[in-house]
């Protein structure tokens, strides 16, 4: 968390508020580990002040502030990062930094767990990401060639952002259920037809989750930039529903562990 739909929700809400805003200063309230790159807030501020935001973009789970003169701020929200635009200074003990604009408004970064990052000039990171699950075209043949060589469980493959980018644990579980594929299936056992089904399920779920502004779980760790809950939680078919009845066949759903993560699935519908 947040995954593609939550980051895309932030992007859509922030874009009209940040477009053409000229940066006055960066203010760091509490420096987290590896939070900034360059790590020194003064150096970071020197790079961005005076520049304007030309677009708010996204690739996978990265939110990207494009600045003039081809500079970019790459934001990764990690576990609990949130972005809020305010007209005045926001008082919040979990605020890590703010970017102040000449207009007087501010982009605030709130992060309880402190894993989020703001990195400058590291667009090279993005070249390692696989196709974005919402926006990019897939080369099915190339992806099929990749999975033929891999033996990891399917669930793990979906979390690998170099394969396709944007899915985390919630949407990986949901897409596997929708595709009728077991999270434990070795990747190289998939037919091309099954891969196509999986990719279209992923895209369908991402689109739907964006339209519901993402998923807020019981822990409330995600709220959008307006402080609202993501309503896709009501549409979850398997994630967090251990012992609940499968919506396709009414068998009880199973929760298990895979690679340190929780997987939820129906042993009857997913093979």
Residues that bind Zn ion (CB under 5 A): 246, 248-249, 251, 266, 268-269
In whole angstroms, give the CA distance from residue 49 to residue 85.
18
Please tell me what DSSP assigns to residue 39: S
CB of 268 to Zn ion, least distance (A): 4
The residue from 59, 61, 156, 203 that is catalytic is 61
Asked if 215 and 233 count as a contact pair (C-beta separation under 8 A), the reply is yes
Q: Is 125 a catalytic residue?
A: no
Which of 190/266 has CB closer to Zn ion?
Answer: 266
Q: Is 234 a catalytic residue?
A: no
* Residues in contact with 74: Cβ distance below 8 Å, sequence separation at least 6, in sequence order: 62, 63, 64, 117, 118, 119, 120, 122, 123, 125, 126
In whole angstroms, give the CA distance from residue 35 to residue 56.
20
Which of 82/155 has CB closer to Zn ion?
Answer: 155
In whole angstroms, give the CA distance from residue 62 to residue 128.
12
The residue from 12, 248, 255, 261 that is catalytic is 261
CB of 201 to Zn ion, least distance (A): 15
Around 134, how many Cα atoms within 13 Å sit in the side-chain half-sphere?
23
Q: Is 61 a catalytic residue?
A: yes
CB of 170 to Zn ion, least distance (A): 19
CB of 265 to Zn ion, least distance (A): 9
In whole angstroms, give the CA distance from residue 101 to residue 32.
22
In whole angstroms, give the CA distance from residue 11 to residue 76.
12
Which of 142/235 has CB closer to Zn ion?
Answer: 235
Which of 248/255 has CB closer to Zn ion?
Answer: 248
Q: Is 41 a catalytic residue?
A: no
Q: Which residues are catalytic?
A: 2-3, 61, 261
């Amino acid at each position: 968390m947040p995954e593609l739909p939550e980051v895309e929700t932030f992007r859509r809400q922030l874009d009209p508020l940040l477009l053409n805003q000229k940066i006055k200063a960066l203010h760091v309230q509490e420096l987290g580990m590896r939070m900034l790159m360059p790590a020194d807030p003064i150096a970071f501020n020197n790079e961005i002040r005076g520049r304007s935001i030309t677009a708010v973009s996204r690739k996978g789970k990265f939110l990207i502030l494009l600045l003039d003169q081809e500079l970019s701020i790459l934001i990764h929200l990690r576990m609990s990062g949130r972005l809020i635009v305010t007209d005045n200074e926001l008082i919040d003990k979990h605020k890590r930094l703010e970017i102040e604009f000449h207009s007087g408004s501010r982009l605030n970064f709130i992060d309880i767990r402190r894993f989020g990052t703001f990195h400058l000039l590291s667009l090279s990171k993005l070249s390692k990401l696989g196709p974005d699950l919402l926006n990019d075209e897939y080369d099915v043949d190339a992806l099929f060639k990749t999975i033929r060589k891999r033996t990891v469980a399917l669930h793990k493959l979906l979390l690998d952002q170099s394969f396709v980018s944007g899915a985390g644990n919630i949407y990986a579980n949901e897409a596997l259920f929708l595709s009728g594929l077991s999270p434990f299936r070795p990747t190289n056992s998939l037919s091309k037809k099954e891969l196509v089904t999986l990719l279209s399920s992923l895209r369908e779920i991402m689109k739907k989750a964006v339209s519901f502004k993402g998923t807020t779980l019981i822990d409330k760790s995600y709220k959008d930039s307006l402080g609202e809950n993501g309503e896709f939680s009501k549409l979850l078919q398997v994630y967090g529903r251990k012992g609940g009845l499968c919506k396709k066949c009414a068998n009880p759903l199973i929760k298990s562990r895979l690679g340190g993560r929780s997987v939820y699935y129906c042993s009857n519908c997913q093979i």
